[in-house]
A = this chain, B = another copy of it.
Amino acid sequence: MLKTDQPVIDFVNEIKDYLPGNSIDCVVFGFDAQQLKVLLLEWKDEEAWCLPGGFIKISESMDDAAHRILHQRTSLNSIFLNQFFTFGSTARYGPKFKDHIKKTQKVLQNKGVSDKKTLGWIASRFITTGYFALVDLRKTHPQPDFFSETCQWIAIDKLPELIIDHNHIVTKALEHLRVQLNYLPIGISLLPSKFTMQDLQRLYEAILQKPLERSNFQRKMLKLGIFIRLEKQMTGAANKAPYLYSFDTEKYNQLLEKGIGFTY
């Protein structure tokens, strides 16, 4: 891994280039067969898990910062990324926060960072803005950051305890995902380019966390007129093979603007 891919190193060298008191945390959603997953960083030695995040350069917009951070973690360039909430409560700074700061400073010192300015900067109050991303996890190459040993996909219903209020941030992101479902490019962002109706249904079921009626789901989806039917996918199983579909991108985007009037 190149040093230029480690933003905290840059940050340590040039604190003055970053806005103080503001950070960004990203909830990156991926979908794998049955499960909705989230990209997490694991701090092996310190036993901590957290969301990918970072800081904002003075010369850079918040959106640019979020894209930069996500590119560093996923290697993806054009990501569907939405800001969803800014977390500015003082409740963030309880004992869990203090515990986190100790670990952070420990890691920094272990890596040879000892100047007081940096250690103090990290320990001050931050207002963090949450972004959620929808990506095809098959196309990502997860990379740990300065503080972490691994970067991996974890199923949404098996999340470990995360630092500070990061569990809360994930919960909020998921709420936004559900509420805005009809306005977000769920399918096209989270699925591979070719998929079956069952894949699509499982995705919606994972997000809504409730089962949907198979035949009605299929008919209603197809009626939207945003799919292109491709060849059949021979599954090798002793039964009828499903058709593969891809999205008609133009029609999909047109429909999204008005909101897909889909009832689940």
Contact = CB atoms under 8 A, between A and B. Distances in A.
Contact of A22 (B22, B83, B179): B22
Interface string A74-99: 00000000010110111100000000
Nearest to A180: B179
Contacts of A127: 19, 22, 56, 62, 127
**9 nearest CB pairs, A to B:** A62-B88, A86-B86, A61-B89, A61-B90, A86-B129, A19-B21, A22-B127, A61-B88, A21-B21
- Count of identical protomers in the assembly: 2
Interface in A19-44: 19-22
5 contacts: A22-B88, A61-B89, A62-B86, A83-B86, A127-B127
Contacts of A60: 90
A125 interface: yes
Interface residues of A, number: 25
Given A83-B85, A179-B183, A183-B179, A58 B22 contact: no
Given A179-B183, A180-B179, A129 B88 contact: yes
Nearest to A182: B179
